[in-house]
Each structure stands twice: as structure tokens, then as C-alpha cells.
């Protein structure tokens, strides 16, 4: 495998430096989707929310509570706290 160019190395470095911000942005998008979806798609979006929250090291008990409540507003409030 050839070495990476300076540009490729910089892109990779920036991704890992901003990984938390990327996860927060994706969670914000998922909250919007949760407000708009129903049924199977909504369950799938909750699974994606769980995945991103686990990456941000949120406790499993908190995630389970959010999913059980099925309220996107609670996730939005948690994102505000995480973003600070």
C-alpha cells in the first residue's frame, strides 16, 4: 500500500480530531428524523441514536431510558448538555 499524501493525512487527522462534533451533528439530524418518522423506520433511527451515544460514552442506562421514553425531545436535551 503506498504512503498517504499530505492531504490524505490531514483529512484523516481532522476527522479524528473532530469525531465528537461529527457525532453530535449526526445525533441532531437523527432527532429531526425521529420527529418525522413512524414504525420500523423510527425503531431503526433509535438504534442509530444508541450507536452514536455509545460512541460518545453515554451510560447504557441513560440510553435505555431515552429509548423506553421514545421522546426525541429528551435526546435533544441530552445533546445540548453534551455539546457544552
Between these two residues, 10 and 84, which has the higher pLDDT value?
10
Alpha helical stretches, state H, 18-69:
19-36, 39-55, 60-69
Q: What angle do CA 54, 58, 79 make, to 5 degrees?
A: 100
Predicted TM-score (pTM) of this structure: 0.79
Report residue 66: phi and psi, to 5°.
-60, -45
Q: Coil, strand, or helix at residue 76? A: helix
Could you read off the pLDDT of 22-54 as tens digits, one per residue? 889 999 999 999 999 999 999 999 999 999 999
Chain centroid to CA 78: 11
Amino acid at each position: 500500500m503506498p504512503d498517504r499524501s499530505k492531504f490524505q493525512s490531514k483529512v484523516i487527522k481532522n476527522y479524528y480530531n473532530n469525531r465528537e462534533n461529527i457525532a453530535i451533528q449526526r445525533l441532531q439530524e437523527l432527532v429531526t428524523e425521529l420527529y418525522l418518522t413512524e414504525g420500523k423506520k423510527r425503531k431503526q433511527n433509535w438504534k442509530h441514536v444508541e450507536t452514536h451515544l455509545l460512541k460518545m460514552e453515554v451510560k447504557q442506562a441513560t440510553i435505555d431510558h431515552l429509548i423506553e421514553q421514545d421522546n426525541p425531545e429528551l435526546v435533544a436535551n441530552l445533546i445540548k448538555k453534551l455539546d457544552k
